[in-house]
Amino acid sequence: MEWRDEALILSARPFGETSKIVEVLTPREGRTAGMVRGARGKTMRALLQPGNRVDALWRGRLDDQLGTFQLELLEARAGLVMESAWGAFGLQSLASLLAFLPERDPHPRLFAAADALVAAFALAEAAGESGVRFEIILLEEFGFGLDLTECAVTGTREDLTHVSPRTGRAVCRAAAAPYVDRLLPLPAFLAGDGPADAESVAGGFRLTGHFLATQIAGLANKRIPPQRERFVSAVVKAIAKLDAARL
């Protein structure tokens, strides 16, 4: 059996003397691992860096066996990822969150969001906003989509300021007022009414983190991977410095 697809390299670990086990994310085949032979040479080491986008040809006798990969580089982005703390931690966070997905389960929207997030690591502000939006799509792919388009109480689409921690639905300012201490703040950039500054991005990650903990990690009897907190801390700190420079 064989298949071919575009892929994002998530990790590569040694296997035997000359090979590596490489895990990738693809649009049609989902999160998949395969062996790459002769992976210890200089050229292959550069190709197999996490964050790179590759053309992946997978072959195996059976669909559920490990199989082997033949990979060709489409876009080298590992250097871009490793240039910053938020990029390095962000890629680790991305891979650790994707590990909650079943193997070989296709998620084309999630692949597009992951690919966009890696590209966004070039700039802290873009990385922060893309990181929050990636986690929103991850929640949707697990069957828990946030509804941030209208107030769950009044139906209005204006002045949305909070989110129910139980349902994930937005609440407008007037309806939220009596229960504000029980609700999660909705960052302005997610409501389409403000910039992705440090405070707003931090709020976005607090929002998605709540639902990641309760709807994904918690249901699997696990905790949110620590790599995510390192990414959030690094990217929010970098955005805060940019915000301060504008004052």
Q: Is residue 59 part of a domain?
A: yes
CATH number assigned to the domain comprising residue 29? 2.40.50.140
What length does the chain have? 247
Answer yes or no: do 132 and 193 share one domain.
Answer: yes
How confident is the model at residue 199, as a pLDDT?
96
Are the beta carbons of 143 and 58 closer than 8 angstroms? no
Q: Is residue 213 part of a domain?
A: yes
Answer yes or no: do 114 and 233 share one domain.
Answer: yes
Digit-coded pLDDT (tens) for 173-200: 999 999 999 999 999 999 988 889 999 9
Digit-coded pLDDT (tens) for 117-164: 999 999 999 999 999 999 999 999 999 999 999 999 999 999 999 999
Q: How many domains, in total, are found in the chain?
A: 2
Q: Please name the residues in contact with 79: beta carbons below 8 A apart, sequence gap of 6 or more.
A: none
Distance of CA 31 to the CA centre of its chain: 13
How confident is the model at residue 43, as a pLDDT?
86
Answer yes or no: do 57 and 100 share one domain.
Answer: no
Distances (CA, A) of 97 to 23, 83, 156, 163: 14, 22, 33, 22
Tell me how far apart the alpha carbons of residues 64 and 51 are, in angstroms, rounded to a whole number: 25
Confidence of residue 207 (pLDDT cuts 50, 70, 90): very high
Distances (CA, A) of 149 to 133, 134, 152, 212, 216: 14, 17, 9, 20, 23
Q: Is residue 156 part of a domain?
A: no
Answer yes or no: do 124 and 211 share one domain.
Answer: yes
Answer yes or no: do 106 and 130 share one domain.
Answer: yes
pTM comes to: 0.94
Answer yes or no: do 85 and 136 share one domain.
Answer: yes
Answer yes or no: do 88 and 68 share one domain.
Answer: no
From 49, 76, 103, give the residue that closes a domain.
76
From 76, 106, 129, give the residue that closes a domain.
76
Q: Is residue 169 part of a domain?
A: no
Are the beta carbons of 146 and 211 closer than 8 angstroms? yes
How confident is the model at residue 100, as a pLDDT?
95
Confidence of residue 247 (pLDDT cuts 50, 70, 90): confident
Domain with 52, as residue range(s), is 2-76
Q: Is residue 205 part of a domain?
A: yes
Number of H helices, E strands in the chain: 8, 8
What is the arithmetic mean of pLDDT over 52-79?
90
What ranges in 124-197 are assigned the alpha helix state H?
A: 124-141, 173-176
Answer yes or no: do 44 and 127 share one domain.
Answer: no
Answer yes or no: do 32 and 70 share one domain.
Answer: yes
Answer yes or no: do 107 and 34 share one domain.
Answer: no
Answer yes or no: do 70 and 101 share one domain.
Answer: no
Answer yes or no: do 132 and 203 share one domain.
Answer: yes
